Chain A
């Protein structure tokens, strides 16, 4: 049972604050670190991996600081986002070298176990430079698992993987979590996190936006006010009908765009109600477009929620 502690951690690069006063604890099981690109996820993972010193605060592994503590790597396995490995080696040589670097007594056997776990034995004698993206990812996984670490840190592990490889990796991570290992992976894709992690930590613009059970946070995300731009054959009449309905929080008549700007609070209710009411009142809908559906706006909403 190993726990990563992040206590009032900030990290800045020059004048740019990448991580801003974050406190969280990552315990056994699978945790998803969710946030849009550039939110500070990689910076956080790099601090947990001991590759980056926090500008302030402390990052610890079972209460021992990780920065400049190479003994921590006996417990940590890392799958970096960057592609580069020792491409001139075969996967077998690469994973064996990792086992030797960990000082394992039987590096060959340990490498075979790790390669079997990620189903890469069939290609283990091919040079890594000939591998596809998914195969490289699995070779990286094998190198991270070779010393059977109690903590596994993965930075955007599903990037560039095909759906089958994605499912395989998810099954493996789920199993690692069920075994009591502390598994943390970062992602900017909501659905990935939804499928894998019950516990999530959301980071937006360097700040800790939310923490806890995925379903609760997901509800917060879907229940937020949604904005739509609607064009119809009779904007004024449509506005008057919509405002009477409970799912509509506000309507603005945009003269320049010749459209309605609608703020809806009940996502499901509004999307059902709008076409029905248009049909009932013989109003033709020309355009219905969500105006804030980007992931960034979803995350930003969480910060203010």
Chain B
């Protein structure tokens, strides 16, 4: 290695400067990791499947409001959003913790809350982009936004993306099996229990998002078991609580347990 004389010692910016809640470099590292080749394909798979299905349904069954609402609720909102949320939410931090690369973020004069909030913003943006946009397109293909179904479900997908991203990001921090736990939660709780057990529906992100869709759409078949005010409160509480817990866990994350 050379004995190149080091230049003037770089002066680090003081703690008061720089973004407090969002760090662009953390965001860049997160989205580049998230949109790496394999994971990008995974993220694209479900939206592509949705579009293929709606094109087929539109071609075979024609334009129908009931079918549109059913398809957007049962496939887009109940399956696609939570599954994309699992991939984006856990993928925003889980792999870095697993392989130890998170060291390069943690060994910096950056608050742990900034790391989590930045990663949350990226996870939300990716989930919403891969869910809300395809949902809107699917709705437009199915019935041309009749009874504002396309917009209603797109807004619902975006709202659900926020809560799912926060919940799955938290799982990515607290467990090495975040993807498995996330899938079980998404499929068993949101998919089965949330649809079958009346009481559990109150605690289902899907139902909270449906309440938003119900408000936006003009279709009477789009209904939620949870009222809109309750849904909004629960969405905010779930998102904030998951984020707070993720910050707490990252602050005391133990990187060394091998010995």
Contacts and interface: CB of A to CB of B under 8 A. Distances in A.
Residue in A70, A99, A104, A119 whose Cβ sees the most chain B Cβ within 10 Å: A70
B18 A82 contact: no
Interface string A85-128: 11011000000011111111110011001001111000000000
Is chain B's binding surface mostly helix, strand, loop or mixed? loop
Contact of A113 (B6, B12, B15, B28): B6
B67 to A, nearest CB: 42
A107 to B, nearest CB: 9
Contacts of B6: 113, 117, 148
A193 interface: no
A147 interface: yes
B107 A78 contact: yes
B17 A103 contact: yes
A103 B109 contact: yes
Nearest to A69: B109
A52 B110 contact: no
Interface residues of B, number: 45
B191 interface: no
Contact of B259 (A38, A76, A85): A38
A20 interface: no
Interface in B75-104: 99-101, 103-104
Interface in A160-198: 168-169, 171-172, 175
A139 B4 CA distance: 17
Interface in A40-90: 40, 42-43, 46, 49-53, 68, 70-71, 73-74, 76, 78, 80, 82-86, 88-89
Interface in B26-66: 26, 28-29, 32-33, 36
Contacts of B256: 42-43, 46, 51-52
A117 to B, nearest CB: 6
Interface string B144-165: 0000000000000000000000
Nearest to A171: B1
Interface in A230-289: none
Nearest to A103: B13
Interface stretch (B196-204, B212-220, B227-235, B247-255): B247-255
A28 to B, nearest CB: 16
Interface residues of A, number: 54
Contact of A97 (B4, B29, B107): B29
A85 B108 contact: no
A10 interface: no
Contacts of A171: 1
Contacts of A74: 12, 109
B109 A70 contact: yes
A274 to B, nearest CB: 40
A13 B258 CA distance: 10
Interface of A: 13, 18, 38, 40, 42-43, 46, 49-53, 68, 70-71, 73-74, 76, 78, 80, 82-86, 88-89, 97-106, 109-110, 113, 116-119, 138, 143, 146-148, 168-169, 171-172, 175
8 contacts: A40-B259, A43-B256, A46-B256, A68-B252, A82-B100, A98-B104, A147-B12, A172-B1
The 7 closest A-B pairs by CB, nearest first: A84-B99, A103-B13, A82-B100, A46-B256, A100-B25, A101-B108, A172-B1
